[in-house]
């Protein structure tokens, strides 16, 4: 059976919870079409995170890579359109920051997602879930992992990759106090619908 690597992230910055963890743990071992999901949680660390991700890619040899990240404050499930070759912004969980730095020295400026981002948004909207395509994954760890996934997909035959940002869960919204949230059940259901669309193509 083909492998679908589904990644999430640990908590970071001011977020004591990362709802992507529960989703990837819940879907680990599930089957979607011809794919078995391998769910894994990555460190929010510019050194460790990409290393863990590359080790998983080498070990699992996935045919599909779907990475999830929390974007605290958004209200809609947001499949990302593009990853750019830049690291910049806030401290990672090891206290490290970058400014205007490339992820890969001399690498491609950007990669477009090869997941069916429009179909995912349409499917979610039809199911009653707010969703939209996002045109920037930022310049933090999420963009970094999306870039690495698409770089791998570009260097490897028959691999597709991409990234989906999700809103906070109710639990995180309560802990934070200033951001909107979704129920964990709806977040999980929405990602299941996204994966159903991904495995159709």
The residue ranges of DSSP E strands in 75-143, in sequence order, are 78-79, 82-84, 110-112
Mutual orientation of helices 117-126 and 184-200 as an angle, nearest 10°? Answer: 130
**Which span (33-41, 68-76, 125-133, 187-195) binds ligand PCA, by CB under 6 A?**
68-76
Told to check if 193 binds ligand PCA by CB under 6 A, we report no
- In the complex, what is the shortest distance from the CB of residue 184 to ligand PCA, in angstroms, rounded to a whole number? 15
Stretch that binds ligand PCA, among 30-38, 113-121, 136-144, 154-162 (CB under 6 A): 136-144
Which of 30, 90, 148, 165 is an active site residue?
165
Quick one: tokens of 126?
């039809």
> Exactly one of 142, 194, 197, 198 is catalytic; which is it?
142
Least separation, in Å, of the C-beta of 116 and ligand PCA?
Answer: 21
CB 101 within 8 A of CB 182: no
x/- contact string, 12-51, with ligand PCA (CB under 6 A)? Answer: x-----x-x-----------------------x-------
Residue 189 · residue 128 · CB < 8 Å: no
The number of helices, as runs of H, and strands, as runs of E, in the chain is 6, 10
How many Cβ atoms sit within 10 Å of the Cβ of residue 126? 10
Question: According to DSSP H, which parts of 39-91 are helical?
Answer: 48-60
140 lies in the site for ligand PCA, by CB under 6 A? yes
**Residues at the site binding ligand PCA, with contacts judged by CB under 6 A:** 9, 12, 18, 20, 44, 69-71, 138, 140-142
């Amino acid at each position: 059976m083909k492998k679908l690597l589904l990644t999430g992230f640990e908590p970071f910055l001011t977020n004591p919870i990362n709802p992507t963890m529960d989703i990837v743990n819940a879907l680990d071992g599930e089957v979607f079409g011809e794919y078995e999901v391998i769910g894994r949680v990555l460190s929010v660390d510019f050194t460790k995170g990409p290393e863990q991700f590359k080790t998983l890619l080498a070990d699992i040899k996935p045919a599909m890579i779907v990475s999830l990240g929390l974007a605290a404050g958004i209200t809609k499930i947001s499949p990302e359109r593009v990853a750019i070759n830049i690291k910049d912004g806030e401290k990672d969980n090891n206290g490290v920051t970058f400014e205007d730095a490339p992820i890969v020295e001399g690498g491609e400026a950007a990669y477009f997602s090869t997941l069916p981002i429009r179909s995912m948004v349409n499917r979610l909207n039809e199911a009653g879930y707010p969703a939209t395509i996002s045109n920037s994954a930022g310049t933090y760890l999420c963009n970094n992992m999306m870039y690495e996934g698409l770089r791998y997909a570009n260097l490897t035959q028959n691999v597709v990759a991409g990234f989906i940002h999700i809103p906070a869960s109710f639990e995180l919204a309560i802990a934070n106090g200033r951001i909107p949230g979704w129920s964990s059940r709806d977040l999980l259901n929405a990602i299941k619908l996204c994966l159903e669309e991904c495995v159709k193509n």
